[in-house]
Structure 1
Amino acid sequence: MMPTPTERYLFYCGGSTLFEFELRRISLNEQNPVSTRIYGEAGLSVQAVATDRAADKLYAAVYNPNNDQTTIRRLNYDGTPDGPNDGEVLSFAGDLFGELTLADNKLYWANAVSNTISSVNLDGTGFTVLFDQNDGINMDGGEGPYGIGVDLEVSDDFVYWTEVTDDQVVRGNKDGSGDPTVLFDASDGLAQPYGLEVHNNLLYIADDQLTTGPSLPNDRILVGNKGGTGNLTVLIPAGNGVEQIVDLVLDQATGKLYWANVSGSGSQYSISTANLDGSGISTLLEEVQGVFVLRMAIGD
């Protein structure tokens, strides 16, 4: 008897109402996947999501605009809370305009409002601001709707993030020691880096070729050495399944890239995928009128 394939999911924050984003899920095992709502509450907005693939858990940053408070909650893959107080891990003032990711039993996130990179243990202890404006952090509110211009990843001993205002990709020690290092900037051909992923020794960057804002579908996906050496090269040019990218994720287990597109009118979203060499481009989720897609994560 053939073994049953592992169920794999793509989770994303999306919705039709500003600041009322919900957490949705699509199966990566299906030919024509259907988006399913798994978590959300009226008046609240799920701004970011990360997966703990070893434990089959989700961590969602939920913003309450009524009291300007963000709560990071631990959820099961079906969206039910895991733990007391609806799975609450940590709460803090303000919105999380940025990315949330998990590495080495810690959560890391970038906040484009406070210009900080922070971390916390999965049980909510050990909250630490790793880098802030004193370290030269300049995210400037994300330079776009909902802070989409801030992306963050952790690999080995480093945390990597994008700064759209200064057109650069930056790296710092994940314990917060030392000064951050600019890996790539406008002199390397970066215009507005909106998405970032790290795999093996490479960086994958979703970059908007415009210099005045993401008003047209003119993005491309670039690749470069994660140490910042050498040149950036175009992996997938504009128009090849790439329009305006609002998030980029990489499935480390299967070596697949996924990105969320928005059309030039800003009213249609879709999710596309490709192999790490840029081949095999296809649309995973067809365009859905009027539904925002913000942050994504992979789980199995």
Structure 2
Amino acid sequence: MDLQNTYHEPVMLAECLEGLNIRPDGTYVDVTFGGGGHSRAILERLTTGRLLVFDQDPDAAANSDALKADPRFTFIAANFRHLKRYLKLHKVEKVDGILADLGVSSHQINTPERGFSTRFDADLDMRMNPNSEKTAREVLNVRSAGELQRILGMYGEVHNAKTAAEAIFSARHNTPIETVNDLKSLLLRYAPKHRENKYFAQVFQALRIEVNDELSVLEEFLMQSPEVLNPGGRLVVMSYHSLEDRLVKNFIQKGKFDGDVEKDFFGNEIKPLKSVTRKPVEASTEEVARNSRARSAKLRIAEKP
């Protein structure tokens, strides 16, 4: 098996490429390089075109080494919330397509010391960028009970967020919560019977979103996307949970994240993108059987008029 598939098998690869509507001489951005599966496939379709990719994870940067000799390829070691700034630094004013595959890569989940997975005991880290300061350990041991309740309830949709937050707040005064198993052992009594794994997954999702500021990052990225797209350029975003998908859906449909779409004096809707797909694209049964990560993926495609 090749490197990109051992690192992270790209989800809905064909659907993403079709959504981008790639021109061989176009300029494209993959803001979540990861294992590079999507990026390699985009490069294969370019002749004189250009691909710029973002990733803040040093492991992803190392994974891009084989492509760095390609003059069409540019790796940007940064968070994609800085999309416009880094495109400008690389003298790119407009692009023809932007791809974002949100969430955690298989590599990150399967690397125990990163602390993303409930399957391995490790320090509670969960940083997408190992050089950033905030960790899951810091969130659990420093935040107030009220803040912990907000994080668990809002980002993990944990049904007993208040009870779980109070248990964490109380327990840490005796012993700091340092590892994955510390947290699981503490919360096991509050998890629904026979649904413990799903419960822990919700708790971990909440912490990961908080540690990496994921929803704010997504909002900032979406707001910048229409500004850097050429007319006819495509935005292709794949999300893995309802919080992300709701933001993407609202922005495409309304040009903002809540409230009703704004209209001009003549009653025309003011929104920077138009939806290409009426409903989100989902992975085929065959792909889900091959790659379980594809099960929750929702792909939305929009175009700049």
**Shorter chain as normaliser: what TM range?**
under 0.3
Greater per-residue strand proportion:
1
Structure with higher RCO (Cα < 8 A, 6+ apart): 2
Question: What TM-score results when the alignment is normalised by the length of structure 1?
Answer: 0.28
Q: Select the structure that is richer in helix.
A: 2
